Amino acid sequence: MHTKGDSCCCSFEDYKLTTEWLMNQTSIRPKVAVICGSGLGLLADGVSHKQTFRYQDIPNFPVSTVPGHEGCLVFGTIQNTPCVFMQGRFHLYEGYSLCQVTFPVRIFKLMGVESVLVTNASGGICPDFKVGDIMLIKDHINLPGFAGQHPLCGPNDERFGIRFPCMSDAYSKELRAVAMDVGSDLGCGGFIREGVYCMVSGPNFETVAEARMLHILGCDSVGMSTVPEVTVAKHCGLRVVGLSLITNKVCLDYSSEEKVNHEEVLEIGKMRAGVLQKLVTTLISHCQQSINTH
């Protein structure tokens, strides 16, 4: 776990207390967790038997501080599958430790979640990507992790996972194939891509030189989240599928006058909301079906 000062900022007792509090508040026992990225909290709109808890009311939970992150945990069912949605996530640039950023993932594990669906808004680096494309994440590059900002640093708790987890299969190949098929069935094949996501710590958008470096490294999109949650989910033995909405083109040209801003990111989220909701809903159903057949 991530350490802060002389002690771990998130103890197993903290995780247990929060889990017990939630399980006493709701009868829903989620099998699928969905982490909603910037402007994508509306993915929880299709939930039946909805119960909503504000982050500030949940013991030990951090609080979202970024526009487009509502800051609510939503429990309910999607096509008879019990789910939990995070309407808003936490980021390094907000001043949170990676232990706090990933705190909800371990709560989900203790509640019985088996699959995690992560979504985010990201900047497109691949020249073939267009604004509004949906990228299935096939792999990631953890730049903060290279610099020692890693959610598994510090003492390892074997109750969650092994000391040295394998990340070569971080994103489920089976669920990616399902997502491609679902996207094709929904008529979205023309704007569903597959690629490598790179995490930077933010909060500034990338310089041209940084963007060019990421392109050379093989990154197709870049954002400021997701990788810590995916890493901890894999450490906990959970299956992961990732969807990245391309909300802007990352500038690779010094002569360009275009400048990205957070408001435009949120607008693109609204534009693709319907398609993403259908995709997420169908994926949740497939997650449960595939769990039931194993």
pLDDT of residue 185: 87
How far apart are alpha carbons 58 and 61 in whole angstroms?
6
Beta strands in 153-238 (DSSP E): 192-199, 221-223
How many degrees, rounded to 5, is the angle at CA 8 between CA 140 and CA 31? 55
Residue 18 lies in a domain: no
Residue 4 lies in a domain: no
- Please give the C-alpha separations between residue 220 and each of 30, 214, 263, 294, in angstroms, as whole numbers: 32, 8, 22, 33
Residue 14 lies in a domain: no
How far apart are alpha carbons 80 and 37 in whole angstroms?
24
Residue 245 lies in a domain: yes
Output the pTM of the full model.
Answer: 0.91
pLDDT of residue 85: 95
Q: Which residues are marked as active site?
A: 38, 69, 91, 93-94, 121, 224-225, 248, 262
How many degrees, rounded to 5, is the angle at CA 128 between CA 125 and CA 131? 70
Residue 236 lies in a domain: yes
Length of the chain: 294
How far apart are alpha carbons 239 and 284 in whole angstroms?
12
pLDDT tens for 174-205 read 999 988 988 888 888 888 999 999 999 989 99
User: For the chain, how big is the Rg over CA atoms in Å?
Assistant: 18
Cβ within 8 Å of residue 32, ≥6 positions away: 78, 81, 82, 83, 84, 113, 114, 115, 116, 117, 284, 287, 288
pLDDT of residue 98: 95
Residue 176 lies in a domain: yes
How far apart are alpha carbons 8 and 282 in whole angstroms?
38
Full domain range(s) for residue 261: 25-292
- 57 C-beta neighbours (distance < 10 Å), count: 12
Residue 7 lies in a domain: no
First vs last Cα of the chain: how many Å apart? 30
- 290 C-beta neighbours (distance < 10 Å), count: 16
- 237 C-beta neighbours (distance < 10 Å), count: 12
**In which element (H, E) is residue 200 found?**
none
Residue numbers of the chain with a pLDDT score lower than 50:
1-7
Candidates 120, 116, 90; CA nearest to 222 is: 120
Pairing status of strand 221-223 against strand 192-199: parallel
Residue 15 lies in a domain: no
Cβ within 8 Å of residue 182, ≥6 positions away: 279, 282, 283, 286
Phi-psi region of 59 (alpha: psi -120 to 50; beta: other; left: phi over 0): beta
Q: Work out how many domains the chain is built from and give that number.
A: 1
Tokens of 170: 């971080």
Specify the CATH number for the domain of residue 225. Answer: 3.40.50.1580
- Please give the C-alpha separations between residue 131 and each of 25, 53, 119, 249, 255, in angstroms, as whole numbers: 40, 33, 16, 7, 20
